[in-house]
Amino acid sequence: MAVVEKEDFRVVGKSIPRLDAGGKVRGLTEYADDVDIPDCWHGAIVRSPVAHGRLLGLTFDSSFDWNLVAVVTSEDIPGKNIVDMMGQDMPFLAHDEIQYRGEPVALIAARTKALAKKSLAHVKVDVEEHPATLTMQDVVARFEKDPASLHLQWKQDIRKGNVTDALASADMVVEGEYWCGHQEQMYIEPQGMIAIPEKDGSIFILGSMQCPYYINPELCVTLDLPPEKIRVKQTAVGGAFGGKEDFPTLLGGYCALLAMKCGHPVKIIYDRHQDILYSTKRHPAWTRHVTGLNRDGTIAAMKIDFLLDGGAYTTLSPVVLFRGILHAAMGYECENVTINGRVFRTNTFPNGAFRGFGAPQSLWALESHVDVLAERCGMTPHDFRLKNCLRKGGVTPTGQVLKESVGSPAVLETALDKAGFAEKLTRCSAGDPSQDRWYGIGLSFFAHGAGFTGDGEARIKAKVALDLDYFEDGAPGINVRASSTEMGQGTMTILPQTAAEGLSISIDRVRYPYPDTQVVPDSGPTVASRTAMVVGATVYGAGEKMKAQLEKFASEALFDGQTVKLSDGRFESSSAGNSRAFEEVASLYLKQNGPLRVYNQFDLPPTIKWNQETFEGDAYPSYSWGCNIAEVEIDVLTLEIHVTKVTACYDIGRVLNPLLAKGQLEGGLVQCLGYAIMEKIQIQDGIPDANRMQTYVIPTMLDTPEFDLCFVEYPYDHAWPGAKGLGEIPMDGLAPAIANAIKRAAGVRITDIPITPEKLFEALKESGSIRGTEAS
Amino acid sequence: MSTKVTRTWTVNGEKKVVEVLPLRRLLDVLREDFGIKGTKEGCGEGECGACTILLDGQPVCSCLIGAGQILDGSEIMTVEGLEKTEGGRILQEAYMEKGAAQCGICIPGMLISSYALLNSVSDPDEALIRKSHAGNLCRCTGYEKIVEAIQLAAERWPTGISNIKHRTLIRHR
Ligand code: FES
Ligand code: FES
């Protein structure tokens, strides 16, 4: 296997312990609720009691002393009562139509949390109730019968070749439908935001967020303030996973509206119950595959319908849809592909970003279906994938030719080999009634687009800066300035690593402070697995620029104009014996010139061509690749499913920090394990039935499998040092790998996650293979 | 109406006197009345373990205990107290080395559970480590690095450093 040789890096590629760990193990790191805000009031939200209807008015009970609190309704909004996201259909506070249960209709702030909460009981929301569409099941039923009766939020198709003809001429047509439900991010730190009104009429917003530069422009529209009057700063974030991408704009906006009204700082820290009920979740999805398959195991045509439940408003759903359809048939050779993507409204809380952003949903379907295809043409799941997988030079459904940095089939071959897959496949129980414990092994293979879709990165052009200045210890150091946030994934460590590498100095003098829009340029949002690749490369480039400037300075000031190189923390000229430490030169620079700021910005190679209308061309600058192999055991009496071992191989380009990368993989895989077999939400009366940690169960330390993880590195040269995405790909493949393993253990395929013992029981009953029950 | 009670405890080795409504959650007393904010709230109902503290050597959820239930003279230890103990420092080091903290919000509670475990069993096997931390949820790490950190700390754990008054009880769930 031709793996690209590792360059001789000094800081990148090393397992440097996290730079932010010290505060975290000492309990000193300040999360939103830990920040001391003098004179801070507490906000509470008055919500709609129905899922769909018309707001008739609010009745404020006269037995309550309303002078004690500040109240904001839609009429108090200084700017536009609109959340400036896609669709432009979501009001900040409902004023006429109600589109989901729990929709905010008014805000209240009070001196204490208890008083704010108490006041809520004294407001009556008068509504006229209308019939509501509440679930994905509703949506799909109506989609099949009468799609025009649904509210379409967005549509996007992908077309390649001629699917109709190819389906007609294929040896067989294989159909399958796959469902997946809501998933709650369940970061352990609930949502929390704070707004502080400043004397000059500006607003300072801080809190638990992923994207400081989302909040600023969006709230300018609502608060009717110019950008320079809204300052946004991230506090430490106790987990986000996409859940703090779009929602903090709303919560921050509520705090800001209240703060402007009452003149005090206002904070809203959700409790867990509120957080589950009233914040974004992963979109439920339904996928239908209709595949033209030839007996020789080639895929002639793929026709795919991909439907998302968008919730009540459009928000980010179109982008989630894009990523969903771009991964719906990704990874396999096929000349004829049609993908129809649709997002429909339901009257539930708007669904939003969650690690993977549509890809886990469409890959769940694809990788379940590929196993079915293999079976239908009598091939093993691995041989079928090895035969059909895209390789270097292959062409994706959007017509993108994979020219470089392609970790396929390397990830597949490596993982198969490590797990001993072929041999273990022969040992699967297949529902053998004589066994007490069924064993099964399953596989998935997938790619994940790194960075924004198409030419998105070229449009936003991530900007970063490096500041050379004195640190508190009096010695010079470098602060990396970008809007990318640390939320547990390691930004605060890997960005200093790339800066130090670019400069060729030790990481000891490089730091990454929490982003504050007053100080940092806009490196874009912390989403889409783009931080390591795009921002990492931009910071590396800034390091190189600063290095060149300091070398020039050193040459003139200390080396009589000789050529000087900064290498490994020392400035050296060609004449032997003359060498100065970075600290010495940097101090001299600071003394003579004051602080040095160096900017850099990201650009895509001009070869990237993308048509956003037709969805043709280079859908992503590059792809990460992965293969997951799950082994399961099922207790035949209780049908409890134990995932005993996960073997996984990934190509995420250059691994910037193996220690952190593995930790992120393990965490993501466990989150996906929850998605596959544990985490379940049903909508009841318009809101999630599982609305506490007691009922929405996530994996504990007792639920995790043995891991065998490895990397193959195919760096992306256009974003040197060559990282691709890592954040989302761990969420992509484990659910179908587990479902495929369960199929081989129990003999039945479950096409609806989470796969609970109850679902397995029903499926076994239906297939007639439950011990002691009659075959039907 | 309940009336306030006065309580005198040792918190992280310091004497603290508090006048408090008996049902006020210990978590709020620590965070709001004492300003000791290392202890976190993840659920407020005993599910996540982010609020775990040691009460007379036992790991408990501070969101579930009313201040009035805690007797005078009790010893409370939060994440901030770890640094004052040898075992606590060993654990902090191990967590940092192994990359056990990602977002870090679960870590104060997790560390306290680790400390309680190693103080009662200094050479736990992996099954016991997992069982004794099953009440501490972490959404970031997948727990592997945390288990490795506890194993590393156990290797370095010196004998006879227990600060715990009543050796007990590893929480089982
Ligand atoms: S906050 Fe106490 S257990 Fe979650
Ligand atoms: S490190 Fe984030 S929840 Fe554990």
> Who contacts A348 (Cβ-Cβ below 8 Å, separation ≥6)?
A51, A100, A101, A134, A309, A311, A312, A683, A686, A687
Residue A4: pLDDT band (50, 70, 90) is very low
> Considering Cα of A724, then A726, then A731, then A733, what sign does the dihedral take?
positive
CATH of B82-156, one of 3.40.50.300, 3.90.110.10, 1.10.150.120, 3.30.420.40: 1.10.150.120
On the question of pLDDT at B169 being above 70, the answer is no
On the question of pLDDT at A3 being above 50, the answer is no
On the question of pLDDT at A662 being above 70, the answer is yes
Compute the distance between CA of residue A191 and CA of residue A240 in angstroms, rounded to an integer.
9
Place of tokens 């490590």: A418
Instruction: Identify the nearest ligand to the CA of B173 by its number.
Output: 1
Q: What is the pLDDT of residue B162?
A: 54
Atom of ligand 2 nearest to the CA of A239: 2
- Give per-residue pLDDT as tens, A405-418: 999 999 999 999 99
- Among A237, A193, A208, A187, which Cα is nearest to A24's? A237
Nearest-CA residue of chain A relative to B95? A25
- Give per-residue pLDDT as tens, A543-589: 999 999 999 999 999 999 999 999 999 999 987 778 999 999 999 99
| A337 DSSP β-pair partners | A160, A302
Please report, for chain B, the start and end positions of each structural domain, with discontinuous segments joined by +: 5-78, 82-156
ipTM above 0.90, yes or no: yes
Which residues of chain A are within 8 Å of residue B25 when distances are taken between CB atoms?
none
Q: What is the pLDDT of residue B159?
A: 78
Compute the distance between CA of residue B6 and CA of residue B71 in angstroms, rounded to an integer.
10
Across the range A662-675, mean pLDDT stands at 98
Residue A1: pLDDT band (50, 70, 90) is very low
Dihedral pair phi/psi, residue A440, rounded to 5°: -150, 155
Q: What residues line ligand 2, using a CB cutoff of 6 Å?
A: A 188, 239, 488; B 101-106, 138-141
Q: What percent of chain B has pLDDT over 90?
A: 90
Rounded to a whole number of angstroms, the distance from the CA of A512 to the nearest CA of chain B is 15
Compute the distance between CA of residue A742 and CA of residue A442 in angstroms, rounded to an integer.
8
Dihedral pair phi/psi, residue A759, rounded to 5°: -65, -40
Residue A130: pLDDT band (50, 70, 90) is very high
Nearest-CA residue of chain A relative to B148? A663
pTM greater than 0.90 (yes/no)? yes
Nearest-CB residue to A704 (from B95, B98, B143): B143
Domains B5-78 and B82-156 share a fold: no
Identity of the amino acid at B148: E
Compute the distance between CA of residue A591 and CA of residue B136 in angstroms, rounded to an integer.
50
Interface size between A and B, measured as CB pairs under 8 A = 168
Mean pLDDT of chain A: 96
Compute the distance between CA of residue A707 and CA of residue A668 in angstroms, rounded to an integer.
12
Q: What is the pLDDT of residue A693?
A: 97
Tell me the CA distances in angstroms from A215 to A233, A344, A483, one per residue in order: 10, 26, 12
Dihedral pair phi/psi, residue A535, rounded to 5°: -70, -35
On the question of pLDDT at B71 being above 70, the answer is yes
Atom of ligand 2 nearest to the CA of B103: 2
H or E segment to which residue A481 belongs? strand A476-481
Structure tokens at A138: 């509703």
Across the range B25-52, mean pLDDT stands at 98
- Among A205, A294, A311, A288, which Cα is nearest to A250's? A205
- Among A730, A750, A728, A732, which Cα is nearest to A740's? A750
- Give per-residue pLDDT as tens, A713-734: 999 999 999 999 999 999 999 9
Q: What is the pLDDT of residue A92?
A: 96
Q: Does A701 touch chain B (CB under 8 A)?
A: yes
- Among A716, A712, A621, A719, which Cα is nearest to A658's? A712
> Who contacts B140 (Cβ-Cβ below 8 Å, separation ≥6)?
A239, A488, A663, A667, B102, B103, B106
On the question of pLDDT at A374 being above 60, the answer is yes
- Give per-residue pLDDT as tens, A617-655: 999 999 999 999 999 999 999 999 999 999 999 999 999
**CATH number for region B5-78:** 3.10.20.30
On the question of pLDDT at A231 being above 70, the answer is yes
**Cis amide bond preceding A350, omega within 30:** no
User: A693, B43: Cβ pair inside 8 Å?
Assistant: yes
On the question of pLDDT at B168 being above 50, the answer is no
Q: How many angstroms is it from B60 CA to the middle of ligand 1?
A: 10
- Give per-residue pLDDT as tens, A297-354: 999 999 999 999 999 999 999 999 999 999 999 999 999 999 999 999 999 999 999 9
User: B142, A698: Cβ pair inside 8 Å?
Assistant: no
> Considering Cα of A643, then A649, then A655, then A659, what sign does the dihedral take?
positive
Work out the end-to-end distance of chain B between its first and last CA atoms, rounded to an integer number of angstroms: 35
Compute the distance between CA of residue A650 and CA of residue A411 in angstroms, rounded to an integer.
6
Q: How many angstroms is it from B48 CA to the middle of ligand 1?
A: 5
On the question of pLDDT at A360 being above 60, the answer is yes
- Among A351, A194, A205, which Cα is nearest to A283's? A351
On the question of pLDDT at A7 being above 80, the answer is no
Residues 203-262 of A with CB under 8 A from B: 236-241
**Helix (H/G/I), strand (E/B), else coil: B109:** helix
Where is average pLDDT lowest: A80-94, A606-620, A760-774, B104-118?
A: A760-774
Q: Are strands A596-601 and A463-470 parallel, antiparallel or unpaired?
A: antiparallel
Nearest-CB residue to A488 (from B83, B92, B102): B102
Crossing angle between the packed helical segments A247-262 and A212-223, to the nearest 10 degrees: 50
**Helix (H/G/I), strand (E/B), else coil: A285:** strand
Across the range A610-622, mean pLDDT stands at 96
On the question of pLDDT at A761 being above 60, the answer is yes
Cβ atoms A170, A292 nearer than 8 A: yes
Identity of the amino acid at A680: K
Q: Provide the CB-side half-sphere exposure for A240 (13 A, CA).
A: 30
Cβ atoms B26, B121 nearer than 8 A: no
DSSP string for B14-76: EEEEEEE-TTSBHHHIIIIIS----S--SSSSSSS-TTEEEETTEEEETTS-BGGGSPTT-EE
Q: What is the pLDDT of residue B108?
A: 98
